[in-house]
Homo-oligomer: A and B are copies of this chain.
Amino acid sequence: MSDALIVIGRDGVITRADDSDRNSVDHFRRAGRLLELSPSQYLVPGLIDTHIHAPQWPQMGTALDLPLEKWLFEYTFKLEARYSDAEFARRVYDDLVTTLLANGTTTGVYYGSIHLPATKILAQVCLDKGQRALIGRVAMDDPKQCPDNYRDGSAAIAIDETREFIRFVRSMRGNEVRLIEPVITPRFIPACTDELLRGLGKLTGETGCAVQTHCSESDWEHAYVLERMGKSDATAIRDFGLMNRRTVLAHGCHTTVSDRALIRNQGAAISHCPLSNALGSNAVLPVKSCLEEGVHVCLGTDIAGGLRASMFDAVAMAATVSKLLEDGVDATKAADSRGRAGSGISCVTAFYLATTAGGVALDLPIGLLKPGYRFDALLIDTAVPDTNLRLYDFDKSVDILQKIIWNTERQNIKKVWVNGRLVKG
């Protein structure tokens, strides 16, 4: 829309979004409540990052050339264990949430660590800074897959602390609109005992909470669950009572068509994390197929298995890897057997995954700028000096959108609103 008036209520809900008319514009201008965009500025929905490991922020950019086990045990678990230090947690989470808001992430779906106090701090930081967030205290108790110094003492402890975290978030002062929500978060099946998974499934039923976990991320994880459970990862998650309308399954690269039929039937979603998957998942999620099958797909950075903070980068990567899946990668194979025809998605579809589809996946009225939706939005300025985004007078609308998708940097994001509140700029 090129000349629109968007009206936002005091509760952050969009009440009008259509062609502007002179009378209304004058009315809001006289009332001192009109923000007018300059010709170089564009308004887009806020970005929804559906998979973030908050405690991994300090290692972002490192160690992804290591095999998964080394990455987990030499970097990730050691780092996550530090969050027993609340002061460290406060410092990192403050920086992380500030950074993500500055990059246009208006909604974050976060893994915390196993530490209840640190995860409460993350919730408080998001609330204070005004980022919409779904946050989980991580549960992981299996001694065979978790290190001694970073593991829940028992399934019962993990379940109790998860319950306490849910209570805490739901009663946070200032969170009456539920800007922050708790998420039940079994790390992934390999890290959890059956007892823990069953207990968290029961808690999901009792509390009606959203759930997040990993599902069929890599060959290893997919095969591990098949071997241990005698059924697929998706099926096992469902059978433990962990798959509901608001479950976010990270990755899903190795899900089968029947796994995805199950996910679709439950109304759950797959969080596609293209950069992280390229580096460590042994395959590319067939997003186009998922969409055609009717599965909810949303997008995530997977900080820090993904190495970039920006959801604009995740959008660009989603389009890029989909083309590699379509065409294939190995030129020594014949073109018609190299890839998987019809798998490519455009950058505009990828942008939809990061916005509208994110709202659908989380069952929240976000990701669109239309009446009834919350005003989570970014003001993109395409004329900021010392950035790489450049428009020309012969660019058509579709060109401008594509340029914004591929080349927006955080410096171009001049203002960010969440629930109608200005949180950057």
Contact = CB atoms under 8 A, between A and B. Distances in A.
Contacts of A193: none
Chain copies in complex: 2
Interface string A298-313: 0000000001111000
Nearest to A98: B386
A102 B331 CA distance: 35
A238 interface: no
Given A63-B402, A253-B331, A399-B63, A388 B283 contact: no
A88 B243 CA distance: 58
Interface stretch (A8-16, A139-147, A322-330, A358-366): A322-330
A329 B321 contact: yes
Interface string A395-425: 1001100111111011100000000000000
Q: How big is chain A's contact interface, by range? A: 35 or more
Nearest to A223: B335
B324 A316 contact: no
Contacts of A309: 388, 407
A338 interface: yes
A308 B388 contact: yes
A231 interface: no
Nearest to A219: B335
14 contacts: A58-B392, A62-B399, A63-B402, A64-B347, A219-B335, A278-B324, A279-B323, A282-B335, A282-B339, A284-B329, A286-B331, A307-B316, A308-B316, A321-B324
Interface of A: 57-65, 95, 99, 102-103, 219, 253-254, 275, 278-284, 286, 307-310, 316-317, 319-321, 323-325, 327-332, 335, 338-340, 344, 346-347, 386-390, 392, 394-395, 398-399, 402-407, 409-411
